[in-house]
Structure 1
């Protein structure tokens, strides 16, 4: 007798209901992931702006994290570009169990963010868990391209892969992914 055991679908928690949030939620949903999008700004966190989200929250970062309760099956992406949202969300996320934590922003912004997180008490070793700038280097420009870049990186991390070209890969093409 054989049995396939399936856990819950992977979850993508996006903070910041901007254009890239809709593209990211749509892409993740298309591969069967549960998508949660949150923003403290009610005018952004609307079904008109993010119709693909399975769940839409109007909540400040701490509230949103408490509601979502990220676990080992959760990827978190921060899209707000605003320290009043980014910092508390990242402090909470880095203290939790999410398998992926990413944030948009330039390399210079990432360094500034790193300094502010250190000032907020985040341990230096936690930065290994933060992917910033989020995404793979595929030359993305538009919100949809950026979403593909980010989701591809999340999938690679989940599968324990580096996200490189299959042409240059020598291992199995289809990775076993822990649920």
Structure 2
């Protein structure tokens, strides 16, 4: 498909599991409404069925620079390959039982819309620009270029409760395949 990027992951620092997401499995999502790139407001805690939410740090625009030192931050690089992998697997993920699929970042919806259009994502991105969901769940973050950004993780939520967390996610372009495999193995759960 379009805009698939190939990265030599052996040259990128691999994130380590620092335990920052250990508390998430089994938590109920808080009632927080987030804006989407499709113009809707979504309360993830109210969605029925399985929802896949992949969190990514920051998606740069093609003509924009990366924050200084970006590729040296473990787990920072790879937002576009991760999104493209979810784009390419979206119909299979839905067929494996996910009712909803979202990307999540702390960027605002207007900024995210460019990526949805450019990458032709068949699902909306959620904006947590005010860090309400991030803070309520104590999602793992880091700071780069003065921005508080999410560490890359993926949550599978079932009827408002976090059922499975993938963290750390590396390499990012394999995340969608890992999620699809888990969904296929737990279709009847």
Question: Please, what TM-score do these two structures have when normalized by structure 1?
Answer: 0.34
Higher helix share: 1
Higher strand share: 2
Question: Please, what TM-score do these two structures have when normalized by structure 2?
Answer: 0.33
Higher relative contact order (CA 8 A, sep 6+): 2
